[in-house]
Each structure stands twice: as structure tokens, then as C-alpha cells.
Amino acid sequence: MKKVVVFILASFLVVSGLAGCASRSADDAEGKVKIEFFQYKSEAKATFDELIKKFEMENPGIDVVQSNPPDAETVLKMRVVKREIPDVMGIGANFTFANLANAQIFEDVTNNDLLKDIQPAYIQMLKDVSGLEKVYAVPFAANASSVIYNKDMFKELGIEVPTTWDEFIEAAETIKAAGKIPFYFTFKDAWTTLPSYNALAANTQGGQFFKELKKEHATFAESHKEAAGKFMQLMEYGHKDQYGKAYSDGNIAFANGKAAMYLQGIWAIPEIKKANPDINLGVFPYPVTDVPGESKLVSGVDLLLAFSSRSEHPEEAKKFVEFLLADENMKTYINQQNAFSARKGVIQEDPVLEGLKPSFEKGALLDFPDHYVPIAVGLDKQLQVLAHNKDVNQFLKTLDKEWTKVQERQ
């Protein structure tokens, strides 16, 4: 998975002599060690401020400086080129991570004891995304793409939580027949096409799809036809202005009872509750196939913690990550951020998320397919076009064409 950017980064490191340089973490006049924690989640800044304050009280000889700039991943890549690499980095398990791991920016933690209690599925996801056998980060928190539903509306209409695709569509038909909106779509924001499509594709494309795609042994036209078809089937149960509504509009509309189901990630729940604290919510995994219990939950590493391979303070950096992984601190994060822990034994206890617990307990998890699709392919934009034009064959043909273009530029 060595993209052009990886080659450029790696070449720069060699030419500039960065391989022998350490990140510059200036220590203060009192002799305290300063380390930088760079993380990309703006919504988690206050949570990390709280945790950092606690860490510094327990470790008075270490100061942690949190960096959380807008467009953080772009900023991080620019800082790598400028040889300003933070001691600890918190990003997602996506193409940015893959590129930087391949450029040897991160410390190898394959045999590090920090991984001992991490869910194996999440460790494997890091390997799959990077295309490397070694592990270059510690999975910290996970999110999930699920169906969020209004429990009161389901009860009113006598609908049970569906466990198969046919039951899912039957539930949508029942809701529609009652004069209500089954799904609230927000396609003004192209990325909101992804949560539902990720679940459909992950459960139907085959476990080796992207590996086979890179070898030219598979195509989107063949392997994503079922997912695209089912995506279009869901469109039949939306509302009239689904291309004119944005993500924030959808959160408020769903909170106010405008639809029975919302095809979003669990990250939307705090915003929904903010709009209506009294709403009675539940969640369930997308039932993509017609075999009960066969569909897996799409859950990826939303936040991983990686060490700079050139940090001047590796021991202090590790101590900070050990602190974040401790039960009490991990619970603070997952409770405030409505996330799931990547560590075994640290349970998300929010009753709203009860419907996803069996999937986590069984390890019945699949990664987000869009994590493997280069940004240049524009999966979200292509889905936005598909939702509007309803031409499945053209959508799949375009994905194959754009994928090939990216591969040829490598």
C-alpha cells in the first residue's frame, strides 16, 4: 500500500537525514519534560484536556502539550515534511495512518505490552489498512456504523428490531404505510452516504476484496453490485428533500421525531440527545443478509495512538499512553465521546448502545470499507451521484475507473 505520498515522504526522510533526527520537544526551565500529543478529534479536545490535567498531577515531572488544529491530518503530513513530528499522535486507522506507517514515521509496537489487552480484530485492522505485517500504533477507541432508531415509534407501530434484510425492508414498509418517514437522509453532505454503504459493502464484498482488487482479480462492478443495489433500495424509504438536508439538519429532525430510523454512526447520538434529551433511542447492527445473526457490525479504529519513531522522550510518551489506556481513564473517554473501547474488558455502559454489545462481545466486527478507498476515488461523492441519478451500473463503472487511475499513478 505504498502510495506516491509514501515514496515522497520516505525519500524526503532519507535526503534530509531525518532518519537520524529526533522530534524537538523543548523542556521547560524547571527541568520538566515536555511531550506533544497531537490528535485529530476536535470534539475530544476538552476530554483530553481533562485527562492531561490528571496525568500531570500524577506525573509532576512531565508536561503534555495537546495540539488539535483544524484539518489535523493535513497539518500532520505537513509537519512530517518539515521534520516537526509530535511525540504521540492520535489519528484514525485510515489512509493517512497507512501512508505515515509506510514512511516509517511511527514506532514499531508489534511486541509492545501496550497491545496485550487490545481486541485482536482492531490490531488486524491496522495491519490491513497499512498493508504491513508489523503494528505501528495502539488502537484506543472504536466507533460503529449502526441503525439508530426511535424506540417509541417502533413500539407504537408494533415493530420488532429486524435481524434480516427482508425484516428490515418490511419494517420500513410498515413505517411508510403508517404515513411516517422510515429513514432520514442528509445527502447535502456527501459523507453521510457512507455509514449505510459501509455496512452494506462490508457484509457483501467478501473478506479479501481490497487485496484482490489491488491484484486486479476483483472489481467494484462484481463485488459491490449487491451493496449498491441495496443502497438504492433504502433510498425508496427516505423523504422528499434528502439532497437538501445536511448532517446537522438530520440530527435535529430525527431528534424531533421526523423519522423512525437514522442511518448514521453512533457519533451522532450525542448531537441527537442535545436536540432532544428525552428521546428514547436504540441501535442495532445493519441486518444486511437474510440469515439471522450473520451480518457483522461495521466498527473501525476511530482513534489510535502512535509514537514518533524519533521522539526524544520515548519513556515519557509511553507513560502517557499507558495512563490513557488505564480502565478509569479509558472509561472517561468512551463515556464522554460515546465511543467503544478497543481494550477488552472496558465496557461502554450507555443503555442506548445495548444493541451493539453482542457484536463486540463476539468480535463480530468488520472494518469500514471506505478506509481502504483513496480520497481521490471520491467514494462519498460517487454515492451522492448514485443517490441522485439512480444508475448503479454507472456508479460501479466509475469506481473501477477512478480506482485504476489511482493505481496507475503509484
Query: Which domains are seen in the chain, by residue range?
Result: 4-141+300-349 (3.40.190.10), 144-298+369-408 (3.40.190.10)
C-alpha 302/C-alpha 194 separation (Å) is: 15
Span 207-221, average pLDDT: 93
Tell me: pLDDT of 184 over 70. Answer: yes
**Helix (H, G, I), strand (E, B), or coil: what is residue 151?**
helix
Can you give the pLDDT at residue 5?
A: 45
Burial class from Cβ neighbours inside 10 Å (0-12, 13-18, 19+) for residue 28 reads exposed
3-state helix, strand and coil shares in percent for the chain, rounded to the nearest 5: 50, 15, 35
Tens-digit pLDDT profile for residues 267-316 = 899 889 999 999 999 999 999 999 998 999 999 999 999 999 999 999 99
Tell me: pLDDT of 7 over 60. Answer: no
Q: Are 305 and 98 in contact (CB under 8 A)?
A: no
Share of the chain above pLDDT 90, in %: 77
Can you give the pLDDT at residue 408?
A: 83
Tell me: pLDDT of 111 over 60. Answer: yes
Name the residue among 328, 331, 323 with its Cα closest to residue 350.
331
**Summary mean pLDDT of the chain:** 91
Half-sphere exposure of 154 (CA within 13 A, CB side): 21
Can you give the pLDDT at residue 16?
A: 41
Tell me: pLDDT of 8 over 50. Answer: no
b/e sequence 154-172, b meaning 16+ C-beta within 10 Å: beeeebebbbbbebbbebb
Name the residue among 305, 331, 311 with its Cα closest to residue 109.
305
C-alpha 185/C-alpha 192 separation (Å) is: 8
Can you give the pLDDT at residue 28?
A: 58
CA–chain centroid gap for 292, Å, is: 25
Span 167-175, average pLDDT: 98
**Helix (H, G, I), strand (E, B), or coil: what is residue 68?**
coil
Tell me: pLDDT of 23 over 90. Answer: no
Tens-digit pLDDT profile for residues 78-108 = 999 999 999 999 999 988 899 899 999 999 9
Tens-digit pLDDT profile for residues 346-397 = 988 899 999 998 998 888 899 999 988 988 899 999 999 999 999 999 999 9
